[in-house]
């Protein structure tokens, strides 16, 4: 499940035009940096993600979906994204945020990464 969430966040960055300077991966996931690092490492070894230097700050690495994998990842994530949009459409922005916050809290509790 976490791999899907991570890929979805990279896909959102690509569609939003943020692939050049995306948010830190752990911030997207509300997950410990070490957990995201392990996921990124695994997906990079499989050729799904690629890492490159940040031209503005050589200490940073920009991580994104490998160009040759982008169409397949987009197609694979599309049914879930469409279902999510349909399910969330009747909710107000506040209701959507409450749902997201609740699911994040649930996932953190299940994984033992509760914050606070």
Q: What is the CATH number of the domain that holds 49?
A: 1.10.10.10
How many independent structural domains does the chain possess? 1
Mean per-residue pLDDT of the chain: 78
Q: What is the pLDDT of residue 21?
A: 47
Residue 116 forms part of a structural domain: no
pLDDT at site 18: 54
Domain-located, residue 58: yes
Per-residue pLDDT at 81: 85
Note the pLDDT of residue 45: 92
Whether the predicted pLDDT of 116 surpasses 80: no
**Tokens standing for residue 83:** 């279902």
Closest C-alpha to 21, from 57, 50, 49: 57
């Amino acid at each position: 499940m976490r791999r899907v969430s991570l890929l979805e966040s990279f896909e959102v960055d690509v569609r939003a035009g943020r692939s050049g300077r995306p948010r830190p991966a752990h911030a997207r996931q509300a997950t410990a940096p070490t957990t995201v690092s392990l996921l990124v490492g695994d997906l990079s070894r499989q050729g799904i993600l690629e890492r490159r230097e940040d031209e503005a700050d050589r200490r940073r690495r920009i991580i994104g979906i490998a160009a040759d994998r982008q169409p397949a990842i987009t197609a694979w994530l599309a049914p879930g994204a469409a279902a999510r949009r349909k399910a969330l459409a009747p909710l107000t922005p506040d209701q959507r945020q409450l749902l997201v916050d609740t699911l994040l809290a649930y996932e953190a509790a299940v994984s033992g990464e509760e914050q606070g």
